[in-house]
Structure 1
Protein backbone atom coordinates (compact mmCIF):
# COMPACT_ATOMS: atom_id res chain seq x y z
CA UNK A 1 0.00 0.00 0.00
CA UNK A 2 1.23 3.48 -0.84
CA UNK A 3 1.45 5.71 2.21
CA UNK A 4 0.94 9.46 2.24
CA UNK A 5 4.65 9.93 2.87
CA UNK A 6 5.52 7.78 -0.15
CA UNK A 7 3.13 9.68 -2.40
CA UNK A 8 4.50 13.04 -1.25
CA UNK A 9 8.09 11.91 -1.77
CA UNK A 10 7.30 10.61 -5.26
CA UNK A 11 5.42 13.79 -6.16
CA UNK A 12 8.44 15.89 -5.17
CA UNK A 13 10.61 13.64 -7.34
CA UNK A 14 8.09 13.96 -10.20
CA UNK A 15 8.17 17.76 -9.98
CA UNK A 16 11.96 17.76 -10.08
CA UNK A 17 11.89 15.40 -13.08
CA UNK A 18 9.40 17.38 -15.17
CA UNK A 19 11.13 20.70 -14.45
CA UNK A 20 14.44 19.35 -15.78
CA UNK A 21 14.83 20.67 -19.34
CA UNK A 22 14.77 17.96 -21.97
CA UNK A 23 13.38 17.12 -25.42
CA UNK A 24 9.76 17.26 -24.18
CA UNK A 25 10.18 20.75 -22.75
CA UNK A 26 11.94 22.05 -25.84
CA UNK A 27 9.39 20.48 -28.19
CA UNK A 28 6.36 21.96 -26.40
CA UNK A 29 7.96 25.40 -26.06
CA UNK A 30 9.11 25.41 -29.67
CA UNK A 31 5.79 24.30 -31.15
CA UNK A 32 3.83 26.74 -28.98
CA UNK A 33 6.09 29.67 -29.86
CA UNK A 34 6.08 28.93 -33.58
CA UNK A 35 2.56 27.58 -34.10
CA UNK A 36 0.49 28.80 -31.17
CA UNK A 37 -1.01 27.55 -27.93
CA UNK A 38 -3.07 24.77 -29.53
CA UNK A 39 0.05 23.25 -31.07
CA UNK A 40 1.76 23.34 -27.67
CA UNK A 41 -1.19 21.61 -26.01
CA UNK A 42 -1.32 19.04 -28.81
CA UNK A 43 2.36 18.29 -28.22
CA UNK A 44 1.80 17.99 -24.45
CA UNK A 45 -1.15 15.65 -25.11
CA UNK A 46 1.07 13.42 -27.24
CA UNK A 47 3.62 13.33 -24.42
CA UNK A 48 0.84 12.42 -21.96
CA UNK A 49 -0.23 9.55 -24.23
CA UNK A 50 3.39 8.40 -24.15
CA UNK A 51 2.99 8.34 -20.37
CA UNK A 52 -0.03 6.04 -20.77
CA UNK A 53 2.26 3.78 -22.83
CA UNK A 54 4.71 3.55 -19.93
CA UNK A 55 1.84 2.99 -17.49
CA UNK A 56 0.72 0.04 -19.61
CA UNK A 57 4.23 -1.38 -19.81
CA UNK A 58 4.59 -1.06 -16.06
CA UNK A 59 1.18 -2.59 -15.32
CA UNK A 60 1.86 -5.64 -17.48
CA UNK A 61 5.40 -6.02 -16.19
CA UNK A 62 6.98 -5.39 -19.59
CA UNK A 63 9.06 -2.38 -18.56
CA UNK A 64 11.92 -4.57 -17.32
CA UNK A 65 12.25 -6.11 -20.80
CA UNK A 66 14.19 -3.04 -21.84
CA UNK A 67 17.09 -4.28 -19.74
CA UNK A 68 16.32 -8.01 -19.82
CA UNK A 69 16.33 -8.49 -23.59
CA UNK A 70 19.80 -8.04 -25.12
CA UNK A 71 19.94 -5.27 -27.66
CA UNK A 72 16.47 -3.83 -26.95
CA UNK A 73 17.80 -0.74 -25.16
CA UNK A 74 20.28 -0.11 -27.98
CA UNK A 75 17.58 -0.54 -30.64
CA UNK A 76 15.12 1.88 -29.00
CA UNK A 77 17.95 4.30 -28.25
CA UNK A 78 19.12 4.28 -31.87
CA UNK A 79 15.62 4.83 -33.27
CA UNK A 80 14.99 7.62 -30.77
CA UNK A 81 18.28 9.35 -31.57
CA UNK A 82 17.57 9.17 -35.31
CA UNK A 83 14.10 10.65 -34.79
CA UNK A 84 15.39 13.51 -32.63
CA UNK A 85 18.14 14.22 -35.15
CA UNK A 86 15.57 14.22 -37.97
CA UNK A 87 13.41 16.73 -36.07
CA UNK A 88 16.44 18.89 -35.38
CA UNK A 89 17.72 18.89 -38.95
CA UNK A 90 14.22 19.66 -40.23
CA UNK A 91 14.07 22.72 -37.96
CA UNK A 92 17.55 23.85 -38.98
CA UNK A 93 16.66 23.46 -42.66
CA UNK A 94 13.49 25.49 -42.11
CA UNK A 95 15.51 28.21 -40.41
CA UNK A 96 18.07 28.39 -43.22
CA UNK A 97 15.60 28.22 -46.11
CA UNK A 98 14.36 31.62 -47.33
CA UNK A 99 10.82 32.64 -46.37
CA UNK A 100 8.26 31.84 -49.07
CA UNK A 101 5.26 33.90 -48.16
CA UNK A 102 2.80 33.00 -45.42
CA UNK A 103 3.11 29.48 -44.08
CA UNK A 104 0.18 27.11 -44.41
CA UNK A 105 -1.66 26.13 -41.20
CA UNK A 106 -0.23 23.06 -39.52
CA UNK A 107 -2.59 20.25 -38.50
CA UNK A 108 -2.55 19.48 -34.79
CA UNK A 109 -1.82 15.83 -35.54
CA UNK A 110 1.80 16.65 -36.39
CA UNK A 111 2.79 18.14 -33.00
CA UNK A 112 0.75 15.42 -31.25
CA UNK A 113 2.74 12.70 -33.03
CA UNK A 114 6.00 14.49 -32.28
CA UNK A 115 5.22 14.56 -28.56
CA UNK A 116 4.19 10.90 -28.50
CA UNK A 117 7.16 9.61 -30.48
CA UNK A 118 9.80 11.63 -28.59
CA UNK A 119 8.43 10.14 -25.37
CA UNK A 120 8.18 6.47 -26.26
CA UNK A 121 11.46 6.48 -28.23
CA UNK A 122 13.49 7.81 -25.29
CA UNK A 123 14.64 4.71 -23.37
CA UNK A 124 16.19 6.89 -20.67
CA UNK A 125 12.65 7.56 -19.43
CA UNK A 126 12.05 3.83 -19.03
CA UNK A 127 15.42 3.39 -17.32
CA UNK A 128 14.49 6.13 -14.83
CA UNK A 129 11.28 4.30 -13.94
CA UNK A 130 13.15 1.01 -13.68
CA UNK A 131 15.61 2.58 -11.24
CA UNK A 132 13.19 4.65 -9.18
CA UNK A 133 9.92 2.71 -8.98
CA UNK A 134 11.15 -0.34 -7.00
CA UNK A 135 12.12 1.96 -4.12
CA UNK A 136 8.52 3.22 -3.88
CA UNK A 137 6.24 0.34 -4.92
CA UNK A 138 7.89 -2.45 -2.95
CA UNK A 139 7.14 -6.06 -3.86
CA UNK A 140 4.09 -8.27 -4.15
CA UNK A 141 1.31 -8.79 -6.67
CA UNK A 142 0.07 -5.20 -6.34
CA UNK A 143 3.46 -3.63 -7.08
CA UNK A 144 2.80 -3.20 -10.85
CA UNK A 145 -0.49 -1.40 -10.14
CA UNK A 146 1.21 0.87 -7.64
CA UNK A 147 3.81 1.57 -10.33
CA UNK A 148 1.05 2.51 -12.79
CA UNK A 149 -0.29 5.06 -10.29
CA UNK A 150 3.15 6.59 -9.71
CA UNK A 151 3.91 6.83 -13.43
CA UNK A 152 0.51 8.49 -13.84
CA UNK A 153 1.46 11.09 -11.22
CA UNK A 154 4.61 11.96 -13.16
CA UNK A 155 2.70 12.60 -16.37
CA UNK A 156 -0.17 14.42 -14.66
CA UNK A 157 2.33 16.82 -13.10
CA UNK A 158 4.16 16.97 -16.40
CA UNK A 159 1.04 17.85 -18.39
CA UNK A 160 0.17 20.68 -16.00
CA UNK A 161 3.68 22.10 -16.34
CA UNK A 162 3.78 21.70 -20.12
CA UNK A 163 0.36 23.36 -20.50
CA UNK A 164 1.65 26.35 -18.52
CA UNK A 165 4.81 26.37 -20.61
CA UNK A 166 2.75 26.25 -23.82
CA UNK A 167 0.80 29.31 -22.70
CA UNK A 168 3.95 31.26 -21.85
CA UNK A 169 5.75 30.24 -25.05
CA UNK A 170 2.79 31.06 -27.30
CA UNK A 171 2.49 34.53 -25.76
CA UNK A 172 6.21 35.08 -26.24
CA UNK A 173 5.93 33.95 -29.85
CA UNK A 174 3.03 36.33 -30.47
CA UNK A 175 4.98 39.23 -29.00
CA UNK A 176 8.02 38.50 -31.11
CA UNK A 177 5.95 38.19 -34.28
CA UNK A 178 9.05 38.54 -36.44
CA UNK A 179 9.79 35.96 -39.12
CA UNK A 180 13.53 36.52 -38.89
CA UNK A 181 13.49 36.09 -35.11
CA UNK A 182 11.37 32.95 -35.46
CA UNK A 183 13.90 31.52 -37.90
CA UNK A 184 16.61 32.08 -35.30
CA UNK A 185 14.44 30.30 -32.73
CA UNK A 186 13.90 27.39 -35.13
CA UNK A 187 17.63 27.16 -35.73
CA UNK A 188 18.37 27.15 -31.99
CA UNK A 189 15.71 24.50 -31.35
CA UNK A 190 16.98 22.38 -34.22
CA UNK A 191 20.54 22.55 -32.90
CA UNK A 192 19.29 21.60 -29.43
CA UNK A 193 17.46 18.56 -30.80
CA UNK A 194 20.55 17.41 -32.69
CA UNK A 195 22.44 17.77 -29.40
CA UNK A 196 19.80 15.71 -27.58
CA UNK A 197 20.07 13.07 -30.30
CA UNK A 198 23.84 12.87 -29.88
CA UNK A 199 23.53 12.65 -26.10
CA UNK A 200 20.96 9.87 -26.39
CA UNK A 201 23.05 7.97 -28.94
CA UNK A 202 26.07 8.04 -26.63
CA UNK A 203 24.15 7.06 -23.49
CA UNK A 204 24.68 3.66 -21.94
CA UNK A 205 22.17 1.22 -20.51
Structure 2
Protein backbone atom coordinates (compact mmCIF):
# COMPACT_ATOMS: atom_id res chain seq x y z
CA UNK A 1 0.00 0.00 0.00
CA UNK A 2 1.53 3.35 -1.04
CA UNK A 3 1.78 6.41 1.19
CA UNK A 4 -1.02 8.27 -0.60
CA UNK A 5 -3.39 5.35 -0.12
CA UNK A 6 -2.55 5.19 3.59
CA UNK A 7 -3.09 8.93 3.94
CA UNK A 8 -6.42 8.77 2.13
CA UNK A 9 -7.60 5.89 4.34
CA UNK A 10 -6.89 7.98 7.42
CA UNK A 11 -8.70 11.03 6.04
CA UNK A 12 -11.67 8.96 4.87
CA UNK A 13 -11.90 7.18 8.25
CA UNK A 14 -12.11 10.55 9.97
CA UNK A 15 -14.82 11.71 7.60
CA UNK A 16 -16.88 8.54 8.03
CA UNK A 17 -16.58 8.49 11.84
CA UNK A 18 -17.36 12.19 12.27
CA UNK A 19 -20.58 12.51 14.33
CA UNK A 20 -23.49 13.85 12.35
CA UNK A 21 -26.92 12.93 11.04
CA UNK A 22 -25.73 9.49 9.86
CA UNK A 23 -24.31 8.60 13.28
CA UNK A 24 -27.38 9.87 15.11
CA UNK A 25 -29.91 8.04 12.96
CA UNK A 26 -27.96 4.77 13.32
CA UNK A 27 -27.91 5.14 17.12
CA UNK A 28 -31.63 5.93 17.13
CA UNK A 29 -32.47 2.77 15.19
CA UNK A 30 -30.02 0.59 17.15
CA UNK A 31 -31.92 1.51 20.30
CA UNK A 32 -34.97 -0.13 18.76
CA UNK A 33 -33.16 -3.36 17.90
CA UNK A 34 -29.90 -4.77 16.58
CA UNK A 35 -31.55 -5.58 13.25
CA UNK A 36 -32.86 -2.03 12.85
CA UNK A 37 -29.47 -0.54 13.71
CA UNK A 38 -27.55 -2.71 11.26
CA UNK A 39 -30.16 -2.16 8.54
CA UNK A 40 -29.84 1.61 9.04
CA UNK A 41 -26.02 1.31 8.97
CA UNK A 42 -26.21 -0.55 5.66
CA UNK A 43 -28.49 2.17 4.34
CA UNK A 44 -25.92 4.83 5.25
CA UNK A 45 -23.23 2.81 3.48
CA UNK A 46 -25.51 2.58 0.45
CA UNK A 47 -25.84 6.36 0.44
CA UNK A 48 -22.06 6.72 0.54
CA UNK A 49 -21.80 4.26 -2.34
CA UNK A 50 -24.17 6.50 -4.31
CA UNK A 51 -22.13 9.61 -3.50
CA UNK A 52 -18.81 8.05 -4.44
CA UNK A 53 -20.33 6.74 -7.67
CA UNK A 54 -21.58 10.25 -8.47
CA UNK A 55 -18.16 11.69 -7.73
CA UNK A 56 -16.45 9.14 -9.95
CA UNK A 57 -18.96 9.84 -12.73
CA UNK A 58 -18.46 13.58 -12.35
CA UNK A 59 -22.14 14.26 -11.71
CA UNK A 60 -21.21 16.14 -8.54
CA UNK A 61 -19.63 18.78 -10.78
CA UNK A 62 -23.15 19.62 -11.95
CA UNK A 63 -24.21 20.38 -8.38
CA UNK A 64 -21.21 22.66 -7.99
CA UNK A 65 -22.02 24.42 -11.27
CA UNK A 66 -25.75 24.88 -10.56
CA UNK A 67 -26.15 26.59 -7.16
CA UNK A 68 -29.97 26.51 -7.30
CA UNK A 69 -29.99 22.72 -7.63
CA UNK A 70 -27.47 22.39 -4.83
CA UNK A 71 -29.59 24.58 -2.50
CA UNK A 72 -32.73 22.66 -3.40
CA UNK A 73 -31.11 19.37 -2.43
CA UNK A 74 -29.86 20.96 0.79
CA UNK A 75 -33.40 22.01 1.67
CA UNK A 76 -34.80 18.55 0.94
CA UNK A 77 -32.08 16.85 2.98
CA UNK A 78 -32.41 19.27 5.89
CA UNK A 79 -36.18 18.86 5.85
CA UNK A 80 -35.88 15.08 6.04
CA UNK A 81 -33.44 15.17 8.97
CA UNK A 82 -35.71 17.70 10.74
CA UNK A 83 -38.67 15.39 10.17
CA UNK A 84 -36.82 12.45 11.76
CA UNK A 85 -35.90 14.58 14.79
CA UNK A 86 -39.41 15.99 15.25
CA UNK A 87 -40.91 12.53 14.90
CA UNK A 88 -38.54 11.14 17.56
CA UNK A 89 -39.42 13.95 19.99
CA UNK A 90 -43.14 13.52 19.31
CA UNK A 91 -42.89 9.79 19.99
CA UNK A 92 -41.10 10.54 23.27
CA UNK A 93 -43.84 13.00 24.23
CA UNK A 94 -46.55 10.41 23.58
CA UNK A 95 -44.73 7.84 25.72
CA UNK A 96 -44.55 10.29 28.62
CA UNK A 97 -48.23 11.17 28.22
CA UNK A 98 -49.22 7.52 28.50
CA UNK A 99 -47.15 7.11 31.68
CA UNK A 100 -48.68 10.22 33.29
CA UNK A 101 -52.29 9.30 32.46
CA UNK A 102 -51.99 5.71 33.67
CA UNK A 103 -53.59 5.26 37.12
CA UNK A 104 -55.25 2.57 39.24
CA UNK A 105 -55.60 -0.81 37.50
CA UNK A 106 -53.87 0.61 34.44
CA UNK A 107 -50.69 1.32 36.41
CA UNK A 108 -49.08 -2.06 35.71
CA UNK A 109 -49.75 -1.63 32.04
CA UNK A 110 -48.10 1.81 32.06
CA UNK A 111 -45.05 0.49 33.90
CA UNK A 112 -44.68 -2.35 31.38
CA UNK A 113 -44.99 0.06 28.47
CA UNK A 114 -42.41 2.37 30.05
CA UNK A 115 -39.96 -0.48 30.65
CA UNK A 116 -40.12 -1.66 27.06
CA UNK A 117 -39.64 1.88 25.73
CA UNK A 118 -38.97 1.96 22.02
CA UNK A 119 -39.12 -1.85 21.83
CA UNK A 120 -42.90 -1.63 22.19
CA UNK A 121 -43.12 0.24 18.90
CA UNK A 122 -40.86 -2.37 17.36
CA UNK A 123 -43.25 -5.18 18.38
CA UNK A 124 -46.27 -3.37 16.93
CA UNK A 125 -44.52 -2.65 13.64
CA UNK A 126 -43.09 -6.16 13.37
CA UNK A 127 -46.53 -7.72 13.91
CA UNK A 128 -48.12 -5.48 11.31
CA UNK A 129 -45.51 -5.65 8.60
CA UNK A 130 -43.30 -8.68 9.21
CA UNK A 131 -39.50 -8.82 9.76
CA UNK A 132 -38.53 -7.95 6.18
CA UNK A 133 -40.67 -4.81 6.02
CA UNK A 134 -39.56 -3.82 9.53
CA UNK A 135 -35.90 -3.94 8.47
CA UNK A 136 -36.66 -2.01 5.27
CA UNK A 137 -37.75 1.08 7.16
CA UNK A 138 -34.44 1.79 8.98
CA UNK A 139 -32.56 0.77 5.82
CA UNK A 140 -34.48 3.45 3.94
CA UNK A 141 -33.92 6.00 6.70
CA UNK A 142 -30.16 5.46 6.66
CA UNK A 143 -29.95 5.63 2.88
CA UNK A 144 -32.11 8.74 2.51
CA UNK A 145 -30.38 10.57 5.37
CA UNK A 146 -27.00 10.11 3.68
CA UNK A 147 -28.12 10.33 0.05
CA UNK A 148 -29.86 13.69 0.56
CA UNK A 149 -26.63 15.33 1.71
CA UNK A 150 -25.46 17.24 -1.38
CA UNK A 151 -22.18 18.20 0.27
CA UNK A 152 -20.96 14.61 0.23
CA UNK A 153 -20.51 14.17 -3.54
CA UNK A 154 -18.83 17.56 -3.84
CA UNK A 155 -16.53 16.69 -0.93
CA UNK A 156 -15.57 13.45 -2.62
CA UNK A 157 -15.18 15.17 -5.97
CA UNK A 158 -12.68 17.62 -4.47
CA UNK A 159 -10.97 15.03 -2.26
CA UNK A 160 -10.49 12.01 -4.52
CA UNK A 161 -8.33 13.73 -7.18
CA UNK A 162 -5.85 14.80 -4.48
CA UNK A 163 -4.89 11.15 -4.00
CA UNK A 164 -4.52 10.16 -7.65
CA UNK A 165 -0.79 10.03 -8.52
CA UNK A 166 0.25 12.18 -11.44
CA UNK A 167 0.41 10.25 -14.69
CA UNK A 168 -1.58 7.24 -13.44
CA UNK A 169 -5.02 6.29 -14.87
CA UNK A 170 -7.61 8.29 -12.94
CA UNK A 171 -10.61 5.95 -13.18
CA UNK A 172 -9.13 2.78 -11.59
CA UNK A 173 -7.52 4.79 -8.79
CA UNK A 174 -10.69 6.77 -8.11
CA UNK A 175 -12.75 3.59 -8.00
CA UNK A 176 -10.31 2.13 -5.47
CA UNK A 177 -10.56 5.23 -3.29
CA UNK A 178 -14.36 5.12 -3.49
CA UNK A 179 -14.30 1.46 -2.48
CA UNK A 180 -12.19 2.30 0.58
CA UNK A 181 -14.79 4.84 1.71
CA UNK A 182 -17.64 2.35 1.36
CA UNK A 183 -15.69 -0.41 3.19
CA UNK A 184 -14.92 1.98 6.06
CA UNK A 185 -18.63 2.85 6.31
CA UNK A 186 -19.54 -0.85 6.29
CA UNK A 187 -17.14 -1.37 9.20
CA UNK A 188 -17.90 1.74 11.25
CA UNK A 189 -21.67 2.13 11.23
CA UNK A 190 -22.56 -1.53 11.91
CA UNK A 191 -19.96 -1.44 14.73
CA UNK A 192 -21.77 1.58 16.19
CA UNK A 193 -25.09 -0.26 15.92
CA UNK A 194 -23.68 -3.38 17.60
CA UNK A 195 -22.10 -1.33 20.40
CA UNK A 196 -25.37 0.48 21.08
CA UNK A 197 -27.22 -2.85 21.05
CA UNK A 198 -24.57 -4.32 23.39
CA UNK A 199 -25.22 -1.50 25.84
CA UNK A 200 -28.93 -1.85 25.17
CA UNK A 201 -29.81 -3.31 28.57
CA UNK A 202 -28.65 -0.09 30.21
CA UNK A 203 -29.67 2.25 27.40
CA UNK A 204 -33.19 0.80 27.35
CA UNK A 205 -33.78 1.34 31.05
CA UNK A 206 -36.82 3.69 31.24
CA UNK A 207 -34.90 6.81 32.28
CA UNK A 208 -31.85 6.12 30.12
CA UNK A 209 -34.02 5.28 27.10
CA UNK A 210 -35.97 8.51 27.44
CA UNK A 211 -32.75 10.51 27.87
CA UNK A 212 -31.04 8.94 24.84
CA UNK A 213 -34.16 9.25 22.70
CA UNK A 214 -34.51 12.88 23.75
CA UNK A 215 -30.85 13.62 22.94
CA UNK A 216 -30.98 11.90 19.54
CA UNK A 217 -34.28 13.60 18.69
CA UNK A 218 -32.90 17.00 19.69
CA UNK A 219 -29.66 16.36 17.77
CA UNK A 220 -31.51 15.40 14.59
CA UNK A 221 -33.81 18.41 14.95
CA UNK A 222 -30.87 20.78 15.44
CA UNK A 223 -28.99 19.26 12.50
CA UNK A 224 -32.09 19.59 10.34
CA UNK A 225 -32.53 23.24 11.28
CA UNK A 226 -28.85 24.00 10.56
CA UNK A 227 -29.05 22.23 7.21
CA UNK A 228 -32.14 24.26 6.32
CA UNK A 229 -30.66 27.57 7.44
CA UNK A 230 -27.44 27.22 5.44
CA UNK A 231 -29.00 27.34 1.95
CA UNK A 232 -31.49 30.00 3.06
CA UNK A 233 -28.67 32.24 4.22
CA UNK A 234 -26.79 31.69 0.97
CA UNK A 235 -29.84 32.54 -1.14
Structure 1 residues 129 and 4, CA, compared in 2 at 3 Å: closer, same or farther? same
Aligned length in residues:
202
Greater Rg by CA: 2
Matched with 1:30 is: 28
User: Aligned partners of 2:204 and 2:222: how far apart in 1?
Assistant: 27
Match among 175, 179, 204 for residue 148 of structure 1 = 175
- RMSD over aligned CA atoms reads 2.2
More helix per residue: 1 or 2?
A: 2
Q: Paired residue for 1:65?
A: 62
Q: Please give the alpha-carbon distance, in whole angstroms, between the structure 1 residues aligned to 2:6 and 2:168.
A: 23
Match of 1:172 among 199, 208, 225: 199
Q: What is the TM-score normalised by the length of structure 1?
A: 0.88
Partner of 1:201: 228
2:86/2:217 contact within 8 Å kept: yes
- Whether the aligned pair in 2 keeps the contact of 1:88 and 1:189 (CA below 8 Å) is yes
TM-score of the pair, normalised by structure 2: 0.78
Alpha-carbon distance in 1 for matches of 2:186, 2:205: 29
Unaligned stretches of 5+ residues in structure 2: 99-109, 114-119, 127-133
Deviates more, 1:116-125 or 1:88-97: 116-125
Distance 1:199-1:152 versus aligned 2 partners, 3 A rule? farther
- Kindly state the Cα deviation for residue 51 of structure 1 after the two structures are TM-superposed: 1.8
Which of 88, 94, 97 is 1:97 aligned to?
Answer: 94
Once structures 1 and 2 are overlaid, which stretch shifts more, 78-87 or 194-203?
194-203
State the match for 2:7 in structure 1: 9
